[in-house]
Amino acid sequence: MAESWSIWRVKPIDVLLQEKRRTGLSRVLGGIDLVALGIGAIIGTGIFVLTGVAAAQYAGPGLVISFVVSGLAAGLAALVYAELASMIPVAGSAYTYTYASLGEFVAWVVGWNLMLEYMVASGAVAIGWGSYFSDLVASLGFDLPRTVTHAPGAGGIINLPAVLISVLITLLVMRGTRQSARFNKFAVAAKLGVIVLFIVVGARFVNPDNWMPFLPFGVTGIFHGAAIIFFAYIGFDAVATAAEETRRPQRDLPLGIVGSLSIATVLYILVTLVLTGLVPYTALNTASPVASALLAAGVRGAGGIVSLGAIAGITSVLLVMIYAQSRVFFAMARDGLLPPVFTRIHARYKTPYVTVLVTGAVVMLTAGLLPIEMVAQLANIGTLAAFIITSAGVLILRRTRPETPRPFKVPGAPVTPVLAIGFCLYLMFNLPVATWLRFAVWMALGLLLYFLYSYRHSALAPQRPGPGWRAILGSPVAKPARKDGDEDG
């Protein structure tokens, strides 16, 4: 492997594939597993929790158009991911793809943003789970104290249900990929059944008057709503993190990514139409809008079933998010950008157990101590930044590695990746200023860590004292070592 002190050093694709063959991860996932993994990650808190907030505060009934806009942005990014996943079927998702196209520094930025996406998104998911669990307990006649069901900023001390579910799912993910996949398929089946039930039952009680005014916040409300509920599409990229545990990654990864996103988008549009038709959009500003809308429409039996299904569905999202983050940690540590302790594989379970435990601990703290609005917006901006850089990576690899086999190719390239970049940028600039400030702090911490540790410990760094800044900012391609007998000139 060529060594270089440049921060633009690129990790060759053939090296990535060689490392994959040496991994201790179990290859047990098939195409259906990956579609279920994608649906498990996508459909959850976004539809069961954030739809209410987005409709009440940003878009009104026009939220259905917001879902179309966000779905289009996510769909374009999904096509990009599908090409890269089939081309480089290695753990790490966008981080790995960027390392092979844009170089180590940009790859670090993407990996750092993926940490923000998965860990913070997992926290939001756990908060949503806690809200539905509290509602379910209340429907049985038991009220849990607010002090143990809400974060400090929301009038409580700690969100204990969110903390406990984070601990349980962390232990399940650590136990093994096969066990996690089985549980996920069960939860996805329950979730899809409940969503179909909501659409069929709720459609009978829709009042078209509730759709008026359709755009109470104007056209700008559609795009503000799209930026907020983009969280609902976070997750399809988690399929790519399972590359090294997939039996036929070149075929099944694109199927899992595009298939799961397509199914989710159709269901989101139908659920939003029914939800905003059941009650006025102003009544949806609640953490459990789907169940609340049915209860308000007088469908009490179905409301209880939906609460149970929402709990099962949100649990599957949490499982996939913690799973995906642990694999990103694993890939970055294998490259030397994080301490080697994160590469440890459990002797019995064959999982990267240290990364799983660290991820679970951060999710537990986030879910227990932060409000859901702040958490969801942070997850959105990290994801959109990663999508933008990944889309640029496809364009670069088309020029620098045209000979590399691509079992799946992005249709309409280069227009499609450029559109993905444009859509994601637009959604980013529709996020609140406070989110950008928090994002800036996160990026500053990431840059500090890279230059203090990752840059010098990288597997691509020469094993000798470091150079000056000119070498650090130099060419992304290291010159080949000179052989004896070579002549100058």
Contacts of 26 (CB under 8 A, 6+ apart): 176, 177, 178, 245, 350
- Among the listed residues 321, 326, 318, the one whose alpha carbon sits nearest the alpha carbon of residue 92: 326
- CB neighbours of residue 403 within 10 Å: 5
pLDDT digits (tens, 9 = 90+) for 322-345: 888 888 888 899 899 999 999 998
The whole-angstrom separation of Cα 261 and Cα 257 is 6
The dihedrals phi and psi of 246, each to the nearest 5 degrees, come to -110, 135
The whole-angstrom separation of Cα 209 and Cα 207 is 5
Out of 61-70, 147-156, 280-289, least confident range: 147-156
- Among the listed residues 118, 120, 117, the one whose alpha carbon sits nearest the alpha carbon of residue 382: 117
Mean pLDDT over all residues of the chain?
A: 82
pLDDT digits (tens, 9 = 90+) for 205-249: 999 999 999 999 999 999 988 888 887 787 777 777 777 778 887
Packing angle of the helix pair 372-400, 94-101 (nearest 10 deg): 40
Q: Can you list the alpha helix ranges (DSSP code H) found in 204-299?
A: 218-229, 249-278, 289-296
Per DSSP, 145 falls in state: P
The whole-angstrom separation of Cα 18 and Cα 90 is 10
What is the reported pTM? 0.78
pLDDT digits (tens, 9 = 90+) for 440-480: 999 999 999 999 999 989 988 886 555 655 667 665 544 43
Q: What is the CA radius of gyration of the chain?
A: 23
Tell whether the model's pLDDT for residue 112 goes beyond 80. Answer: yes
pLDDT digits (tens, 9 = 90+) for 238-269: 777 777 778 887 788 888 888 888 888 899 99
In the chain, the amino acid numbered 267 is: L
How many alpha carbons lie under 13 Å from residue 239 in its C-beta half-sphere?
Answer: 37
Three-state secondary structure call for residue 253:
helix
